[in-house]
Structure 1
Amino acid sequence: MLGKLTIHPLFWVTIGLAIITGRFKEVILLFTIVLIHELGHAAAAHYYRWRISKIVLLPFGGVAIVDEHGNRPIHEEFVVILAGPMQHVWMVGVGFFIFEGGLITDSLFNLFIFHNMIVLLFNLLPIWPLDGGKLLFLLYTIIFPYKAAHRHMIYSSAVFLFILILFTVFWFPEQLSLWLVISFLAAAHFKEWKHHPYVYIRFLLDRYTKVYVGKEATLSVLPHMRVSEVLSLLYRGRHYSISIKELDVCADEQVLLEAYFRKKQVGCAVGTLFR
């Protein structure tokens, strides 16, 4: 399901600056590139039948907001993330043929290539919520349990954002549009850090309320471990059987999820659930 298309206020600010500085043609070109980039994400998500609630266009790219919470197959998310950057490949190719056909000027073609590369490379920076930040998060979910992966992503993203700020201070301090983008990234990063517990709970709730299909795995835990502690060890892409040591008990993860959400036994020791 495709959601509504929204233009972020930062884009309108960029357009205003472009009008003032006489660079309106550049902004229209940038808007077209960003729109196609984001439609690439949307098309891939639609192909996999993801629920897209909203597409937000920004000066440097966009954000496709989906109602999926880390439980779709990893290969699907990888394709959806890369579908945006991949649009720049064919756009450059089409632009080259149009230029060779004499339909656009040399200066317009160079401008088109420049903005394509800027949008592509900037979006691949490992900063949330850029495509590079999402790829970093995806990598972390393979290496760490989901809860820890999200936390590691936020910390790593903060480091790379700080590096980007230093880079801007020393090399492009006068670039107002870049500072506006950094402000957005900083606000988005702070929001993601603040919502960390809710991101994790949505991940668990999605597993609890749906028939979750993943690679079968067994998680061995001690009977004194709390329900919340055990659930924090779940990886995405795996459906767990919980083996409780010393009790010779093996239960599906749904038993713990039910205890967490329906029975409110968040702090209960898992061993007591089967006594």
Structure 2
Amino acid sequence: MLKMVTIHPLFWMTIGLSILTGRFREMLLLFLVVLIHEGGHAAAALYFRWRVKEIVLLPFGGVAVVDEHGNRPVKEEFIVILAGPLQHVWMIGLAMYLHRIGMMDDMYSLFILHNIMVLLFNLLPIWPLDGGKLLFLLITLFYPFKAAHRLMLRTSIIFLFIMIVMTFYFFPFHLNLWMVIVFLCTAHFKEWKHHPYIYLRFLLERYSKSYVGKKETLSVLPDMKVNEVLSKFSRGKHYQILVQNMDIIADEHLLLEAYFKNNQVGCAVGSLFR
């Protein structure tokens, strides 16, 4: 359940700068655009009964903080991610209609500009922007969750580096853009630092709930360790573990129980059945 809407300190700084420069009205317009964008994410997440903790507003968009850890259906996550950018379609359409009938004149161009900027910026393949989340979702279709998270971060860092270079070259004195870059760099550092815990929550959610996914057989050698097998788990799949040379097939829950309950992290899979 959604608890609160939080304004990030970067947004407060931007609001302060807008007051000093006499552009507070323009900032309120941006605030409205960002709020509706994030509201789209939250509405879609709540529709699918996701646990939405809060909405954090930033100058370029925001982050809908959810208590989900990579085990929701791909289709659901795809819809939740796109629900934010799609808000700009009807907002731009409504603004064009109001402008056409003469009900929106002085703020029309700025409103359209804010929408386009927020939309395009959020579609950049940089974490934690919507484009970065789409990138992560795409990679998880081809790689196990643990490897996909690392690959996404490496790819995202490359695009972030390109963004920094372009900012140096084209907008070296754009203070707001540099504040956003600082936020993105900090977000990457935290995401990389928390990688083990993100992977652990992915596994823990599968263990604590009766995970339903596409049935798939994972063939492993008897001497493979429990944690090595679990690192091969992908989202959207429910595994039956086939232990080679032992003709044993076990549900993934047995390995998850060995990992979390019995502390058999480095235990060979084959020894679990002796």
- Structure 2 length normalisation: TM-score? 0.99
Classify the secondary structure of the residue corresponding to 1:240: strand
Matches of residues 32-51 of structure 1 in structure 2 within 5 Å? 32-51=32-51
Matches of residues 111-190 of structure 1 in structure 2 within 5 Å? 111-190=110-189
Classify the secondary structure of the residue corresponding to 2:211: coil
- CA-to-partner distance for each residue in 1:53-88, whole Å, 9 max, x for gaps? 111000000000100000000100000000000000
Long gaps (5+) in structure 2? none
Q: CA deviation at 1:19?
A: 0.9
CA distance in structure 1 between the aligned counterparts of 2:218 and 2:175, rounded to whole angstroms = 51
Q: Could you say which residue in structure 1 is the equivalent of 2:67? A: 67
1:267 aligns with 2:261: no
- Residue identity opposite 2:98 in structure 1: I
- Residue identity opposite 1:109 in structure 2: Y
Matches of residues 98-117 of structure 1 in structure 2 within 5 Å? 98-105=98-105, 107-117=106-116
CA distance in structure 2 between the aligned counterparts of 1:17 and 1:167, rounded to whole angstroms = 23
Classify the secondary structure of the residue corresponding to 2:140: helix
Q: Could you say which residue in structure 2 is the equivalent of 1:201? A: 200
Q: CA deviation at 1:24?
A: 1.1
Following TM superposition, the consecutive aligned residue runs of length 4 or more in structure 1 with deviations greater than 6 angstroms are none
- CA-to-partner distance for each residue in 1:2-44, whole Å, 9 max, x for gaps? 2311000100100011111111111011000000000000000
1:57 aligns with 2:57: yes
Classify the secondary structure of the residue corresponding to 2:85: helix
- Residue identity opposite 1:87 in structure 2: Q
Q: CA deviation at 1:237?
A: 0.2
CA distance in structure 2 between the aligned counterparts of 1:247 and 1:44, rounded to whole angstroms = 46
Q: Could you say which residue in structure 2 is the equivalent of 1:87? A: 87
- Residue identity opposite 2:84 in structure 1: G
CA distance in structure 1 between the aligned counterparts of 2:104 and 2:166, rounded to whole angstroms = 34
Q: CA deviation at 1:101?
A: 1.4
1:97 aligns with 2:97: yes
Classify the secondary structure of the residue corresponding to 2:258: helix
Q: Could you say which residue in structure 2 is the equivalent of 1:213? A: 212
